[in-house]
Structure 1
Amino acid sequence: MNEGRSPAFYALAAFFCLFVLFLYGPMIVIFVLSFQGPTGGLTFPMNGVSLHWFQRLWEGGGIVDIAGAFKRSLALGLVVMVLTVLFSLTAGLAFRKRFFFSNILFFVTVASLIVPSIVTSLGIAIEFHVLDDVLKNYGPSWISDNLQTTMGQFTSGLGAHLTWTLPFGLLVMFAIFNRFDGRYEEAARDQGATPSQTLRYVVLPIVAPSVVGVGLFGFTLSWDEIARSSQTMGEHNTLPMELQALTTTVTNPDIYALGTTTTAVSFGVIAVALGSIAILRARQARHGSDAGQA
């Protein structure tokens, strides 16, 4: 018990520290450089410390329309989050029982995870181009005369993002319901609860923390997605697409301020989700304690 650490321990500890530095070092550097002074550049040493580049972004004097790109990404991320939660939860409930073609449906759903994202993006873009041709050539005149394209943020863009978020949400719900104790539902039915009451007052409160996690997956995956957005967003770019487009042309720390803003939103959503999960679990523990005392 009094023996010291072996040399292998220190070697592995050093390797782990280097790995963490490699993983988070670039992000930390970007955070720091985004606070350069008004005459600062893209590299160290820093020339002053200020919020100048963030101010330029929000005033519209920076490299992109930060307000417009931010609103588009935020709106799309919220819609993707809601739909991911709804579809994943209902699919998780449905897959608790065997039904015809359930295995095929599952594999078709998760198959999009192994298809290259750019291929998925191109395929969706081609589908909507075909739809445009059909509507323009064979659709009613009130559509064909006014139609520019059906591609857009909440059509092709939304579909592309859902092909990325839904498989993750479905896998999470599968893991939750595989560990779900069916005796809670049996006890509710014994007390005279209807199926809808059992779902609302028993099942949903138990799985609520996991549902919040699915929502977190949905928003953050959509918020940071580039490859599946590249061919499907239509005429407007999302915030990550603006950031990617500017990586080869920017000559000042605007891009660092934009990257810091994007990352800060992701961290904020994660913090809200973790706080919500902690509150829900505390409520579950309190209700369980009250039931035990009763």
Structure 2
Amino acid sequence: MHERRSPAFFALALFFALFVVFLYGPTITILILSFQGPQGGLTFPMRGVSLHWFRQLFQGIGVVDIGGALWNSLKLGIVVTILTVVASVMAGLAFRRNFRGATLLFYTAIASLIVPSIVVSLGIALEFRIADDGVKALGDAYSIEWIWDNFTTTMGLFTSGLGAHLSWTFPFGLLIMFAVFNRFNPAFEEAARDLGATPWQAFRHVVLPIIAPAIAGVALFGFTLSWDEIARSSQAMGADNTLPITLRALTTTVTTPAIYALGTVTTAISLTVIGTVLTVVTIVQRRRRRHGSDAGKGV
């Protein structure tokens, strides 16, 4: 006999379905509308189906440099991802042992998650403006002509912009590594050390393969958070615009489905990065299982 579903089940199922529609409906709508014909507008019903707006997007939208903004976001996202992974793993390893000031250092590292993003952006911009004033004062004090002729600002993509993005991505990476190392069994490392492995060999051949899926997760967090970040970038990028900043500017000037085509392209890049990382992790895990199975048969 089959147990009948209670009314609460159908109510919760309906609520979940509405939640999914609310969550992914806007993305699906933009995806569909980006394939409109040349006479298409910003709303339904669609007027034809074509790639017209994608061609217009890559040809350029007015004076906005879409290609440059896209390249800036990719470069910054890659650098942020690498630094987030390295710093998070190192911090996770460091916090495995108690040391003086560990609690204060931890709360300092994650404090930027509590402060509003726009306030962080303004604070970083203010710090670099103070640095600019210091550099100009140095040039005036010592009559440094290079500063007089060439210096404009220390703000830029890989200075203030990089710091703004790391203040957002690093706390997430740190929390992930904390969760991983809190469940990590040190007996694996101890066994490797008993067999004569150096600390580096134990990390490379024992610890790193075990935490590899978590590192992939940190990398995904780092790239996607940097790729989509706008609030912390708004005041801290200087003259360099990232794609989210450009997209926000376009929403006030562009009234064609080209803006939807840009949204579709950015979403496709995010999904491609996520799919690539998950595929690599799956392949690595399968190889590890295969090697472990072969080793067991050999024994």
Aligned partner of 1:121 in structure 2 is 121
How big is each residue's C-alpha offset from its partner over 1:216-242, in whole Å with a ceiling of 9 and x where there is no partner? 110000000000000011112110111
Is the Cα–Cα contact under 8 Å of residues 62 and 254 in structure 1 kept in the other structure? no
Question: What do residues 223-278 of structure 1 show as CA deviations (whole Å, max 9, x unaligned)?
Answer: 00000000011112110111111223221111100111111111111101111221
Instruction: Kindly state the Cα deviation for residue 73 of structure 1 after the two structures are TM-superposed.
Output: 0.3
Q: CA deviation at 1:142?
A: 4.8
Alignment partner, residue 37 of structure 2: 37
How many Å separate the matches in 1 of 2:171 and 2:61?
39
Q: What amino acid is the match of 2:169? A: T
Distance 1:228 1:87 in 2: 20
Q: Is 1:12 equivalent to 2:12 in the alignment?
A: yes
Name the residue aligned to 1:266: 270
In the alignment, the residues of structure 2 paired with residue 181 and residue 81 of structure 1 have an alpha-carbon distance, to the nearest angstrom, of 27
Match of 1:214 among 215, 218, 235: 218
Aligned to 2:147: 144
Partner of 1:176: 180
2:205 to 201, 205, 208: 201
Of residues 262-271 and 56-65 in structure 1, the stretch that sits farther from structure 2 once superposed is 56-65
CA distance in structure 1 between the partners assigned to 2:41 and 2:205 by the alignment: 57
Q: Given the alignment of the two structures, is residue 78 of structure 1 paired with residue 78 of structure 2, yes or no?
A: yes
Pick one of 280, 288, 293 that aligns with 1:289.
Answer: 293
Question: Mean alpha-carbon deviation: is it higher for 97-106 or for 56-65?
Answer: 56-65
Unpaired runs of at least 5, structure 1: none
- Deviation of residue 173 (structure 1)? 0.6
Amino acid in the other structure paired with 2:83: L
Moved more, 2-11 or 97-106: 2-11
Stretches of 4+ moved more than 4 A in 1?
Answer: none
| Residue among 189, 195, 199 paired with 2:193 | 189
- Give 1:35 shift: 0.5
Distance 1:122 1:61, change over 3 A: closer
Give the aligned length. 294
CA distance in 1, matches of 2:289, 2:63: 49
Give the residue type in structure 2 aligned to 1:117. S
Structure 2: distance between partners of 1:179 and 1:89: 15
Q: Secondary structure of the equivalent of 1:170?
A: helix
Identify if the C-alpha distance between structure 1 residues 287 and 99 changes in structure 2 by more than 3 Å, giving closer, same or farther: farther
CA contact (8 A) 1:56 1:62 kept: no
Alignment partners' CA distance in 2, 1:285 and 1:75: 35
Q: Distance in 2 between matches of 1:143 and 1:117?
A: 35
Task: Check whether the contact 1:54–1:254 (CA below 8 A) recurs between aligned residues.
Answer: yes
1:38 touches 1:53 (CA, 8 Å); kept in 2? yes
CA distance in 2, matches of 1:117, 1:129: 18
- Which of the residues 218, 227, 236 maps onto 1:223? 227
In the alignment, which residue of structure 1 is the partner of 2:168? 164
Q: Report the residue type matching 2:163 in the other structure.
A: G
Aligned partner of residue 85 in structure 1, secondary structure: helix
* 1:94 partnered with 2:94: yes
TM-superposed deviation, 1:286: 2.3
Using the alignment, how far apart are the partners of 1:18 and 1:168 within structure 2? Answer: 29
Distance (Å, rounded) in 1 between the aligned partners of 2:108 and 2:45: 52
Counterpart Cα distance in 1 of 2:217 and 2:293: 24
8 Å Cα contact 1:151/1:234 also seen in 2 = yes
The DSSP-based 3-state class of the residue aligned with 1:153 is: coil
Say which SS state the counterpart of residue 264 (structure 1) adopts. Answer: helix
- Cα distance between partner residues in 2 of 1:112 and 1:262: 26
Residues 61 and 241 (structure 1), Cα distance of their counterparts in 2 relative to 1, 3 Å cut = closer
1:223 aligned partner, one-letter code: W
Unaligned segments of structure 2, at least 5 residues:
none
Give the TM-score of the pair, scaled to structure 2. Answer: 0.95
Q: How many Å apart are 1:83 and its aligned residue?
A: 0.3
Q: Is the 8 A contact 1:206 1:284 kept in 2?
A: no
AA partner of residue 55 (structure 1): R
- Per-residue Cα deviation, 1:165-201 (whole angstroms, up to 9, x for no partner): 0000001111111111111111111111111111111
